[in-house]
Amino acid sequence: MTAETDHSAAHRHAGELADAAARTAGVHLRTVHDVAGLAAVADFFSDVWQTPHSTPPYPAEVLHSLVHAGGAVHAAFAGDRLAGATVAVFGPPAAAEAYSLVAAADRGVGHAVKQAQRAWALERGARTLRWTFDPLVGRNARFNLVKLGGAGTEYLVDFYGPMADGVNVGDESDRLTVTWDLLAPRRPKETGDRAAAPVIGMAPDGALLARRSQDDRHVWCRVPGDIVALRAADPALALRWRHAVRDVFTEAFADGFTATGMSRDGWYTLTREEDTPA
């Protein structure tokens, strides 16, 4: 079987997964090209990020330009109601990688829009898709690393600088880059024995923050249960969490680790592959 055949098969399978995920979520998927549709997506993003419709995170005219340049806006509809949307463009090298600029969806709809985005990227020859997310949002980490099978490959400190939307205001905008292998999404691996590993840090709430295995293959790092609620209730405490998790991640990434998992109780698994002989 040739690489081209593998790619075609992966594209067909991705389309089937997208259709199945849409049926499960009770939505239908389509790409959005028209002015009115793109304006509705811009308003949807405003609602998610709690900004006025007059100042959306992604204005309709920007979305229109991205579509015109060859990108795609995928949307999920529950009847006539917009229930999710995601935006992707191609990055260098265009033949190999696509980049997801933004995604938001109602609960249960995110998997469908990401699978639609995957099928679109595969159809155009991409092998990977990248995007960023706030590493303190544990539910998003679990979706990206466990459900989709991506890997956290880069930690970006204060990536956007100060943000003024209703979700991120008052915090620093650290982001974790996800790299999603579109041809063969990563399967969860053995995560080691977290409970037996030495403690390497305490969290701002006084409980454990991080552990590192004695064989130096795994690091585990905890995040707060709901950083958005915590940020609204106690911004100073939320910022202490930001700095504490940042310290663990930047040290681990400098040592060659990647983020490979997230438990249901809010613990990342970071993994370093064994060195192979030259």
pLDDT tens-place string over residues 22-76:
999 999 999 999 989 999 999 999 999 999 999 899 999 899 988 988 899 999 9
Domain 3-181, CATH homologous superfamily name and number: Gcn5-related N-acetyltransferase (GNAT) (3.40.630.30)
Domain regions of the chain by residue span: 3-181, 194-271
Q: How much is the pLDDT for 39?
A: 93
Average pLDDT over residues 235-264: 96
Question: Is the pLDDT confidence value at 161 over 90?
Answer: no
SS3 call for 244: helix
Instruction: Give CA separation, 98 vs 65, 88, 111, 134, in Å.
Output: 17, 7, 18, 20
**Contact indicator for 105, 227 with CB cutoff of 8 Å:** no
CA angle 150, 156, 159 (to 5 degrees): 120
Average pLDDT over residues 154-170: 84
Question: Is the pLDDT confidence value at 198 over 70?
Answer: yes
Structure tokens at 59: 């204005």
Average pLDDT over residues 156-162: 88
pLDDT tens-place string over residues 92-117:
765 678 989 889 888 989 999 999 99
**Contact indicator for 141, 134 with CB cutoff of 8 Å:** no
Question: Is the pLDDT confidence value at 277 over 70?
Answer: no
Question: Is the pLDDT confidence value at 12 over 80?
Answer: yes
Model confidence at 271, pLDDT cuts 50, 70, 90, reads: very high
194 vs 13: CA distance, rounded Å: 35
Beta bridge partners of 100: 88
- Closest Cα to residue 259, out of 156, 150, 171, 183? 150
Beta bridge partners of 259: 152, 270
87 vs 98: CA distance, rounded Å: 11
Average pLDDT over residues 77-82: 95
Question: Is the pLDDT confidence value at 276 over 60?
Answer: no
pTM score, whole prediction? 0.83
Please tell me the total number of residues recorded for the chain in this structure: 278
Q: Where are the alpha helices (DSSP H) in the chain?
A: 3-25, 35-48, 60-68, 110-123, 138-142, 227-233, 235-254
Instruction: Give CA separation, 111 vs 29, 58, 235, 276, in Å.
Output: 11, 21, 31, 35
Share of the chain residues as helix, strand and coil, in percent rounded to the nearest 5: 35, 25, 35
